[in-house]
Amino acid sequence: MKLYPAIDLKDGKCVRLKQGEFKEITVYSDEPWNIAKDFERCGASFIHLVDLDGALKGRSVNEATIRRIVDSVDIPCELGGGIRSFADIERVLSYGIARVIIGTKAVSDPGFVKEAIQRFGANHIVVGVDARDGMVAVEGWGQLSDKTATSMCRAMKEMGVKHIVYTDISKDGMLAGPNIEMTKKLTEETGLDVIASGGVSSIKDLIALKNAGISGAIMGKAIYEKKIDVRQAVLEVEKEPIPFSEFKLNSDGMIPVVVQEEDTNEVLMVAYMNEEAYNLTLNTGMMTYYSRSRNEIWVKGLTSGHMQYVKSLKLDCDSDTILATVKQVGAACHTGAHSCFFRTII
């Protein structure tokens, strides 16, 4: 199941609402792009953005902030709020948003969704189905339509939609648990990729959604209220790391790690991990090794500031070597060279 940590934007700030009410607002950060970078460092593979002002006004309002968020991370972002025209979609996709979420417009003009898919592709178009008491809400959740969530999802499937973000408004921002029953029903009856939104309060909720066959879940207030740790959620729900016991170790009980830079594919260094170092790497997102010369665990860059942030870990076909792709800060080599491999033999 894919996890989507959320950033809701109002006046350029990261906020959360309670049940969609703007009078029930909490500001969590004046620099939402830094929150996005934290999500990425914690292993998130997608970020969910909502332009709350845009949803109310029917046009993009927080575009400068959204652009900065997109430019700050390497993982894809999806955006909802105020997208009402093909020009809106084209503009948003042009500055790096991977998927746009269409809500009110999908209710009032289903044909718009069909044409949007024809123009931009189904993988770039998501429909937001926001419901209160089973009825779809529009205009920033301020009005109820005459369509049920179920009928709306079925109609969107006929338009060619693959992805739905289903929000139970009564659950949103309440930390009372998601509407698993309805989300499961929509998934089973439509066969769509339904992403659950609203009410997620714990990793236990995420696991329950995963066990119900839900393909994705948005995490919002639970992150900001410290009820869900993004790194832990990704490890427990989205990713299932290979246990250290399955590795073929060397005579010292360790596995070699070839470290490669993400952007350039340059090989930076080779180090070793024991089980403790491996587990610390998974849990912290920072490359951690076992120093054979000092006989101790060491976090790369802890003293120098030249940290290595994990982007991916891959195991070779013989299970005896790890390839780590990292975001390198500063130099990888203790000599001050960017890579340890700077001496040419031939």
Burial class (CB in 10 A: 0-12, 13-18, 19+), 312: exposed
CA within 13 Å, CB half, 82: 22
Q: Which of 130, 168, 172, 205 is catalytic?
A: 130
Catalytic residue status for 8: yes
The answer to whether the beta carbons of residues 35 and 77 sit under 8 Å apart is: no
Which of 114, 94, 98 lies closest to 106, judged by CA?
114
229 is catalytic: no
Can you read off the two tokens belonging to residue 243? 């246990």
Rounded Cα distance between 145 and 251, Å, is 67
Sheet hosting strand 267-273, strand order edge to edge: 267-273, 255-261, 322-328, 308-315
Strands 13-18 and 21-29: antiparallel
Q: Whole-angstrom Cα distance, residue 117 to residue 84?
A: 14
Residue 174, exposed/middle/buried by CB under 10 A (0-12, 13-18, 19+)?
middle
Active-site residues, by number, are 8, 130
